[in-house]
Amino acid sequence: MAFDYEQYLRPGKLPHIWCPGCGHGIVMKGLLRAIDTCGLEKNNTAIVSGIGCASRLPGYVDFNTLHTAHGRAAAFATGIKMAKPEMDVLVVGGDGDGVAIGGNHFIHACRRNIDMTYVLLNNYIYGMTGGQFSPCTPTWAKASTTPYGNPDPIFDVPKLAIGAGATFVARTTAFHATQIDKLIAAGLRHKGMAVIEVLDDCPTAYGRRNKFRSVVDMMKRLKEIAVPVKAAAHMTPEQLEGKVLTGILHQEERPEYCEQYQQVIARAQGA
């Protein structure tokens, strides 16, 4: 049966603005299926973004949505969750938004273990502004600002999130469409900061500069590099060269920030 996406989309918004083959649309669909699986109420759900192509996502979906300042989505989302802890709060945004300009807000949301679900669409580039390198642009890949190749090492987003204290961390790719909704749903059910990185394609600002002939080539690459964590346990370091691990990479229980804050309120009231 065809999934009814229209029930969650604002009317009259399609076709969306993303380029032909841009993976952001695939991730948006996965996000809506996950929301449907978990039965979230539209009026009790907030979806927050910063700025970028990925950050346009909330404009299409019929929930409480906030399109905020570049890199600041996690901070706005923290405010919403603190004021209304009963709400389901999601953040969506790109690699530039989340771990370049927004890296500070991102790590502190992880550290606090505030109960939200952060979907980071990593297309390895600043798509919206024409292809400047981000902290996720692979070493020696080309960006408009690294015409001789990018000398920087990357941020591994899941490792960054785990190191900073997120209690649910997962990764998949835009090719692995069914895994997108499964992992986001698992993140939504998790109490605490859940980070789901989706490796994504930007044919316009990244693909063309980096010798991908087509969107299909970029999808095939996502398929090739992904190795499920369980399979990786039986592989040698040589076999894992150039691969990325997918699935749930980390999950633990730790006090959640809004609940901790309730104790502050109780203490202040002399309980």
Q: Which of 73-81, 186-194, 199-207, 224-232 is the region at the interface with ligand SF4 (rule: CB under 6 A)?
A: 199-207
> C-beta of 132: minimal distance to ligand SF4 in Å?
12
* Separation between Cα atoms, residue 199 and residue 243, nearest integer Å: 12
Residues 32-61 that bind ligand SF4 (CB under 6 A): 53
Residue 117 engages Mg ion in binding (rule: CB under 5 A): no
**206 or 257: whose CB is closer to Mg ion?**
206
**123 or 167: whose CB is closer to another protein?**
123
Which of 55, 123, 150, 167: binder of ligand SF4 (CB under 6 A)? 123
> C-beta of 35: minimal distance to Mg ion in Å?
23
* Separation between Cα atoms, residue 134 and residue 155, nearest integer Å: 9
Query: By the 8 A CB rule, do 131 and 125 touch?
Result: yes
Residue 141 engages ligand SF4 in binding (rule: CB under 6 A): no
Torsion of the alpha carbons at 135, 140, 146 and 152, rounded to the nearest 10: 40
Query: By the 8 A CB rule, do 92 and 159 touch?
Result: no
**89 or 226: whose CB is closer to another protein?**
226
Strand partners, 143: 146
* Separation between Cα atoms, residue 226 and residue 38, nearest integer Å: 26
Length of the chain: 271
> C-beta of 19: minimal distance to another protein in Å?
8
Number of Cβ atoms within 10 Å of the Cβ of 261: 15
> C-beta of 219: minimal distance to Mg ion in Å?
17
**Which residue type sits at 210?**
N
Residue 157: name the closest of 176, 177, 135 by CA: 135
**160 or 205: whose CB is closer to another protein?**
205
Residue 95 engages Mg ion in binding (rule: CB under 5 A): yes
Non-local (6+) Cβ contacts of 33 within 8 A are 3, 180, 181
> C-beta of 196: minimal distance to another protein in Å?
17
Interface contacts to ligand TPP, rule CB under 6 A: 51-54, 70, 93-97, 123, 125-129, 134, 202
Interface contacts to ligand SF4, rule CB under 6 A: 18-19, 22, 24, 53, 123, 127-128, 202-205
